[in-house]
Structure 1
């Protein structure tokens, strides 16, 4: 579940750009008044800085400072100019690289670091108008909008057990691209470039993959997340209904093969899935330990906020445009999560999965 005048290079480098060729020659002439220029060991004593004109004659009437020497003297300036240009190029390359990363990331604040064990964090934000175009249900349809994160609802051990359910189910299939889906409610399972119905396609084999204990844990986790959402938004949990799609996701850095694999695009859940009123995600793996990239990004005006996944962490939010979001591309490893969505409309409700 898943857009936003640079300084000149001379300012970025903290120094003036190197002088032009004309400036270099003028500075070189003025150096004859006192600066000491590079010279050969065989050069005679006397004024040695040189200039663009011939040197004064010595006692024998001979003049020093040949044309060859005059041509050679500016060389240190050109070397300096070349070095400065290389420095500018390196700085420009670094700036462009930083810009590209910033354009992909756009992140300015970490809302929930993976290193912190959060009992609860909730931020209230103004509701969008998305809910006005849908039937309203008193006591459930969001009037208080926002987003929350907690590590206190599901334990790491429970998250690991839930993850093993996902791993076993996804072992039967998997996408050719980087994003695989398993929906225990509808039976939808990624298989190559398509989806199959897990229960029909594999039949009785499914009972060798899942147990009644797996589904009981699934129901209990769903119930506790539902209660926490209701508590933080000040509504009754009985007015909320599980809705579709609710699914496991497994994401790695394999190149996308179909549009279903392109999970990183910004979107609004209420627009994408009209039934959604409240969205939650339970993370089943750890950012920086199990995978890199893959952070969840709320795309706020002027200041994006990220949630860094952590096994057992629950992130939840109202599903309207007030919570435009995306997921960063996963760069390495494998990211597991389950999206659990809720509606206020009983007509869009679904039941918990049962082992067939």
Structure 2
């Protein structure tokens, strides 16, 4: 028992009041003593322990969810690299395999994805960049994505498409030498795809849509402007079996954002495999669900590229573009 308690029990022996110890009221309750916290008693509310535990559990759940669904990012090809060839093969998607049953000469030994900076020369890339700019300046979308298809003549124009060859100035923009370069580049990519996927080039055919694209950070005006959604080429374009992309300018120099991203694995263990565009770089891949992908939204600047697609179905083939008479 404390000295203070003893003093209070000596009734009649002293009229002195018990002397409080210094800072006695700043201590917590211990045994028979009541020790008050320095800043007074903490406020309490009904079911305080229950609520505290609930907050703790929610915090743990948020932590676990965040780290279990956090996207892993792997850079497949950096802008600063000059790649002879980089890529790998893997199992095809079941639906893609079934679609190729009727085209045995066009069936790959394995599906896959590849990148090369040695297929298209810098001069060829520069000529096609100028061609894209001249053609797209004749129209252009009100939103962030504009396309020009030299085969069909489709050109983004405001919120719709027009035939670029119907415009008076088109004969000044598209020249025979430019289209010759376009054909040469297409043939180079076709033979590269045939080699990479163990195909005979005579059994893969240019198909539609094959087009130039110009991407910016402008707000979308139509669904065609929302180019950043994850998709599968074979689902979007039924004729596609092999997709290629030729980049016409440089990531982090001419534009920011706009990387090409393959999406691998289920959502909860997703990996984003990125390709950073480089002028003259070509990406080539099978068009099934094994190569699900999207393009990052451009943050600033303007991104130019050409999508050149191939099919195994000769009935879905298209001819090289020609200047109308």
Provide TM-score, normalisation by structure 2: 0.77
Q: Please tell me whether the aligned partners of residues 243 and 284 of structure 2 are also in contact (alpha carbons under 8 angstroms).
A: yes
The one of 248, 257, 261 aligned to 1:297: 261
Contact 2:108 2:198 in 1 (8 A): no
- Tell me: CA distance 1:52–1:294, structure 2 relative to 1, closer, same or farther (3 Å): same
Distance 1:260 1:51 in 2: 75
Q: 1:231 to 1:133 in 2, by over 3 A?
A: closer
What is the correspondence of 1:28-107 to structure 2 with a 5 Å cutoff?
50-52=23-25, 74=39, 106-107=71-72
Deviations 1:278-325 (A, max 9, x none): 000000011100111111111000322111100000001000111111
1:318 matched residue in structure 2: 286
- Counterpart of 2:251? 287
Alpha-carbon RMSD across the aligned residues, in angstroms, is 2.3
SS in 1 for 2:264: coil
Pair 1:272-2:223 in alignment: no
User: Counterparts of 1:220 and 1:187 in 2: how far apart (Å)?
Assistant: 20
* Paired position in structure 1 for 2:112: 146
**What SS does the aligned partner of 1:139 have?**
helix
1:200-279 equivalences under 5 Å are 200=166, 202=167, 204-279=168-243
What SS class does the counterpart of residue 299 from structure 1 fall into?
strand
Q: Does 1:184 align with 2:184?
A: no
Compute the TM-score of the two structures, normalised by the length of structure 1.
Answer: 0.71
Q: Which digits, 9 at most, give the CA deviation of each residue in 1:53-72, with x for residues without a partner?
A: 69xxxxxxxxxxxxxxx99x
SS of residue matched to 1:52: helix
Equivalent residue number for residue 299 of structure 2: 331
Distance 2:200 2:317 in 1: 16
The Cα shift of 1:143 comes to: 4.0
Q: What SS does the aligned partner of 2:305 have?
A: strand
Superposed CA offset, 1:113-161 (max 9, x none): 1111000012101011223146621221334200000001012232121
- Give aligned pairs, total: 268
1:354 aligns with 2:322: yes
Question: Residue 197 of structure 1: CA displacement?
Answer: 0.8
SS of 1:190 mapped into structure 2: strand
Per-residue deviation, residues 243-280 of structure 1 (Å, max 9, x unmatched): 00000000000000100101111111111111111000
